Structure 1
Amino acid sequence: MDRLQGQNDAQKIVSAEERDQNPRACPLLDEHGCERVIKSILNVPADDVIDDIYWGPVMRISKSTVVELVKSHIDPASAIPEPECMVECIEQGAWNRAFLVRISSEKFILRVPSLGVRGVWNRHKALQLRSSALSMRWIRNNTRIPVPEVLAYDITHKNEIGHPFTLMRHVSGTQICDVWDDDDGSDAEFEAKRLRILDSVAETAAQLQTISFTHSGMLHFDDESATRPRVGLTYHLCEDGVKGDNRLVHETSLTDPIASSHENFCFRLETWWDLQTDDGYDLPEDPDALVLLKGQHEILRLLVDCLPFARAQEGQAVQETFVLAHPDFDWQNIMVDDEGNVTGVIDWDCTRAVSRFLGYAALPLWLGKGYVACLVLSGSVWSSPERFQYYRAFYASAMAKAMHGKGDCAYTHKSILFLALEDALKYPNRTLCFLQKIVHLVLPGTDVMYFLKRIGTEGLVDQDKGLFQELFRCAPGADPRFPI
């Protein structure tokens, strides 16, 4: 049985979950839900001071203590001689520092969160780490997805390195982002490898089709041996820090489990309108601006109603179900072998159940780069936009093949539209760009600004509604009618 540091503390976190709804229950939070340690440095502009608060303690962890910790979990008797134990490399992402450790002939990954430093770490972040570690174990045990094996985790500072951590076995392979533009070999071989990657990724993601929940939210495990998690509160790390990047997290937001995707998106639409009109009090003084705003709102409301929610038949109730999705299903988190077959899927932080049309069957994020504003490319892509349209259509067909044309594969090709709509509702400064793309898809050559103003003045007619409804209609495979 694994030696799991801080297991008793983890149980306290789960049993005290009801207190998490009250930020004042956390000693690190003030009455506004803001972490005191962060509020105390709000006026500190120096990058090195900010970096030291978060990354400094983590970066000062010695390699010898890392090796000592890893050995304590895989070789408690210390039978392996020191020369065969070493830290081979260290990589740093947005939230974690990862140590690649070799013990004899085996390799391991020790992930240490930057926010794990004393005075910043709190039970919300601890519960996130625990949920992520146990979610990986549960998915690995209940699907054929090559998830890294979690050997141990610790949500406390009572260990050899003095920080929370997750310890996993290393998975072999190369990140897709490092081979997608690899120009070795002939053009035909290169293209065949890309298509093999897409086929294998679809086959891998489809493994999640057997898992569903009655609510959307983060996975919670009442004990280490739980055969099935429950869905509960989701803890979000704020990405709008003092410096505008994700190194500073000065508040923790909580989201209740969601039972209706439609109600959730309607709430987002109301929030969008409030943000556009200064919380509903001050409408734009420019009449043209108000008409344009109303036109955007009308189309957004139609698109929200067009999303493929579970709908009740006449006289019958329906229970919507939610599915798992990798929280960052992008090319840096998927490992492949030399032939393009998936060998590992990493970085499952903050795994949760989501709406089916945004779940496991959705397009991988790198295929949406350049189409969805929120997706920032982390690598080099030489393909043209038209080529990416082809890859999106190919992946939709690959997912339909993997799922035998049944179930959530119907959402794959249109998932990029659903993700773009979600982004446009969250960030009003991106709404107009999104609507321009949508209008051009159904009405090529249309003067979008004129069209929106007409909608804002006259409202949507049935012909307009039919066009947008058809765009959002879902079926297995690619939809050749729209160049998505």
Structure 2
Amino acid sequence: MLSDVLVFWKSASSASTNRLADSPANKRKSKMHPLNRAKAFIKYSPSSQEIISPETNVQADGRRHKRDINTFRRFFKIRGVSKIDLTDSDEQKTSQEAHEQQLDQDEEDEDQYSDDGEPNDEDEDDRRDFKAIRAITRKEVKEFVLETLHADSEQDSRTCHVTKRKEGSFHHVVFVHTKIGDQLEQQYVLKIPAHGTIEHWEEGDGFMLRNEAVLMQHIRHHTHCPVPEVVAFDDDTHNALGVPFILMKEMPGKLALDLWAGKPFRDVQSNERYDLANDSSPELEQKRFHFLASLAQAMGHLQTLKFKKIGMHIFDKPEDEVPKKFGPVWRWHTTSCMQQLHPVGPFSSEGFYFHYGTHQAWHPSMIEDLEPDSYGALVYKGVQAILSQILYSTPFATPAPPPATVDDEGQPMVHKNFVLRHDDLNLQNIRVDDEGNVTGIIDWGGCHAVPRCVGFASLPLFLRGDWLDDQTQCAMMWSLNRYRSIFADAMKEACQTDDGSLSDAQYTNKSAMYQALLAVFFDGETCLQFVAKVLNEIVDFRRVNAEQLCAQLGKGWPAAEKVLAEKIAELMAPEVQEWRSFHKQY
């Protein structure tokens, strides 16, 4: 229940040394906090709404905020218990701890760390510190989870076990389960940001983690979309582990990546991947079809959540239907590079949103050192002209608002609803059962309100890799359209409206193209390459050299501009198709 969600609050405690600050892996000097601090666990209630969504007061310049180091280390100090009080208990548990330490040692081989997420020491914007996070011992994790979940009186009958530790590019994840005696009680996932150390964690990071946790609670309360149940979270380093975290119940099922491959993906050799992507058995193909339909159904549940602005939603309470206000999305990396932490938004219309994106991706400063008639400057102008034509087309163009309609900040406001967008809807972030039914969707970090054409009804990332610069394909290019059609038909079925009006499923078939433009604006994708792919979709321009065409447009070419405007408008227009039942076809 939402009322049982535990939220961490900063209050008073006795001093000791922060474990992470003392860690040899961290190699940082620790200092004593000027105030005694403690940790209390507060049941979520209307009176604690500031705990969920306090004002961030973050600085927009992206500067690093150094935090005071947490001053306690062991859990008995949190509860006010002395070392003497624990002497007898510690002696009784000596043999059990020795046994658990041996179990931990046996389990170390299960830890799955990848070089993919290793930080670049030469990049000052790469704030990840996996070594410091890995230095948190299994014993500390187990004690912390029990302390978080249960009162002192309930802990004696329970044990906690770490089953494995994994890492993605930006997170360290610990899988744990609790037992009562020999009986499995519950499985949990502890998610820790890779940059969640005292030196690197900033207010904007805390804002994003806090709203990720609250959003998952909000989705669970208002929809049937299968998201993790948040048990507890802390948006800063002032806790016994010394790191921000989200503690969730583990979702059932296995990775969709394993289902798609037909076997555990870790067992797939690199030279097998293309064969598996293309040569699937009829049984596996049917499971893939069923999975795509189930995923569309799961994402379709988000259609009931609508927002008045583009950006990060800030709720007073997760069960509230509408957010109290909107804030920026704080970003510090793309798929290709690291950046200083900076805010994006919020925006009151698609026009402001896409104008900002264009400015970020294709700024005049790129050619300020070039002669106006140089080849590079002409290409820049030509690309700019094509981008403008794309943004003037449906679904990107926004109707002009009435002059008197403005928001609280004096900006023109269009009365439209925006929807949620999962930032990384890929196979590794979806869980399924053996038949392909979606049992969970994870990793909601960065999820925020966006224009409808790039929202929840979009194709998942694994079905639009051909529109991106560097994406491993889960299917051959000749199979992608088939899978896309299956997903699009299932999305139409999931989003049927009672009055027959168009739903967001009208955007699904072409969403790979829409999302590619978004990736150019906000995720470091190559602008010229995107333009080349758009031209390749237009029959009359399919064999044209995109760079040379842009250079000619940069000189001024009214005839070509007129034809392109018509063709681009036709290409970008949402595809309205007659609804077909997925189940009748497959």
> Which 5+ residue runs of structure 2 have no aligned equivalent?
12-47, 68-118, 264-275, 406-413, 580-586
Give the match for residue 351 of structure 2: 262
Pick one of 386, 391, 395 that aligns with 2:483. Answer: 391
Give the match for residue 33 of structure 2: none
Does residue 463 (structure 1) correspond to residue 501 (structure 2)? The answer is no
Does residue 253 (structure 1) correspond to residue 342 (structure 2)? The answer is yes
> Which 5+ residue runs of structure 1 have no aligned equivalent?
30-43, 480-484
**Structure 2 counterpart of 1:73, which letter?**
T
By how many angstroms is 1:54 displaced? 1.7
Give the match for residue 125 of structure 1: 205
By how many angstroms is 1:464 displaced? 2.8
Pick one of 413, 419, 422 that aligns with 2:518. Answer: 422
Report Cα offsets for 1:72-129 as digits up to 9, x if no partner.
2333245466884210001112222111111121211111222221132232222221
Contact 2:337 2:524 in 1 (8 A): no
Contact 1:235 1:252 in 2 (8 A): no
Give the match for residue 187 of structure 1: 281
Does residue 400 (structure 1) correspond to residue 499 (structure 2)? The answer is no
**Structure 1 counterpart of 2:192, which letter?**
V
Whole-angstrom CA distance in 1 between matches of 2:174 and 2:528: 43
Report Cα offsets for 1:271-306 as digits up to 9, x if no partner.
44435643xx33446644443332222111101111
**Structure 1 counterpart of 2:66, which letter?**
L
5 Å-filtered alignment, 1:68-107, equals 68-77=143-152, 79=154, 84-104=159-179, 105=184, 106-107=186-187
Whole-angstrom CA distance in 1 between matches of 2:491 and 2:373: 48
**Structure 2 counterpart of 1:141, which letter?**
H
SS in structure 1 of the partner of residue 456 of structure 2: coil
Contact 1:396 1:476 in 2 (8 A): no
Give the match for residue 248 of structure 2: 168
After alignment, is 190-199 or 426-435 more displaced? 426-435
Give the match for residue 333 of structure 1: 429
**Structure 2 counterpart of 1:71, which letter?**
L
By how many angstroms is 1:20 displaced? 2.0
**Structure 1 counterpart of 2:455, which letter?**
G
Does residue 447 (structure 1) correspond to residue 544 (structure 2)? The answer is yes
**Structure 2 counterpart of 1:367, which letter?**
L
Whole-angstrom CA distance in 2 between matches of 1:6 and 1:142: 26
Whole-angstrom CA distance in 2 between matches of 1:478 and 1:367: 22
Pick one of 2, 7, 19 that aligns with 1:4. Answer: 7
Give the match for residue 197 of structure 1: 291
5 Å-filtered alignment, 1:354-365, equals 354-365=450-461
Contact 1:2 1:73 in 2 (8 A): no
Whole-angstrom CA distance in 2 between matches of 1:178 and 1:113: 25
Whole-angstrom CA distance in 2 between matches of 1:53 and 1:424: 24
Report Cα offsets for 1:45-79 as digits up to 9, x if no partner.
868x9999822331111112211122223332454
- Over the aligned positions, Cα root-mean-square deviation in angstroms equals 3.5
Give the match for residue 509 of structure 2: 413
Whole-angstrom CA distance in 1 between matches of 2:313 and 2:452: 16
Contact 1:176 1:334 in 2 (8 A): yes
> In 2 relative to 1, CA 427–73 (structure 1 residues): closer, same or farther, beyond 3 Å?
closer
Q: How many residues align?
A: 453
By how many angstroms is 1:325 displaced? 1.5
Whole-angstrom CA distance in 2 between matches of 1:464 and 1:437: 14
Whole-angstrom CA distance in 2 between matches of 1:414 and 1:257: 25
> In 2 relative to 1, CA 24–12 (structure 1 residues): closer, same or farther, beyond 3 Å?
farther
SS in structure 1 of the partner of residue 232 of structure 2: strand
Report Cα offsets for 1:297-329 as digits up to 9, x if no partner.
211110111141474499898512211111211
Pick one of 122, 131, 138 that aligns with 2:218. Answer: 138
Give the match for residue 471 of structure 2: 376
TM-score between both structures, scaled by the size of structure 2:
0.69
SS in structure 2 of the partner of residue 179 of structure 1: helix
Contact 2:228 2:440 in 1 (8 A): yes
Q: Which has the higher contact order (CA 8 A, sep 6+)?
A: 1
Pick one of 550, 557, 573 that aligns with 1:473. Answer: 573
Pick one of 302, 320, 340 that aligns with 1:208. Answer: 302
> In 2 relative to 1, CA 78–387 (structure 1 residues): closer, same or farther, beyond 3 Å?
farther
SS in structure 1 of the partner of residue 177 of structure 2: strand
After alignment, is 430-439 or 442-451 more displaced? 442-451
The alignment-based identity, stated in percent, is 26
TM-score between both structures, scaled by the size of structure 1:
0.83
SS in structure 1 of the partner of residue 313 of structure 2: strand
Give the match for residue 218 of structure 1: 312
> In 2 relative to 1, CA 60–78 (structure 1 residues): closer, same or farther, beyond 3 Å?
farther
Whole-angstrom CA distance in 1 between matches of 2:358 and 2:372: 22
Whole-angstrom CA distance in 1 between matches of 2:203 and 2:513: 36
Give the match for residue 482 of structure 1: none
SS in structure 2 of the partner of residue 89 of structure 1: strand
> In 2 relative to 1, CA 310–385 (structure 1 residues): closer, same or farther, beyond 3 Å?
same
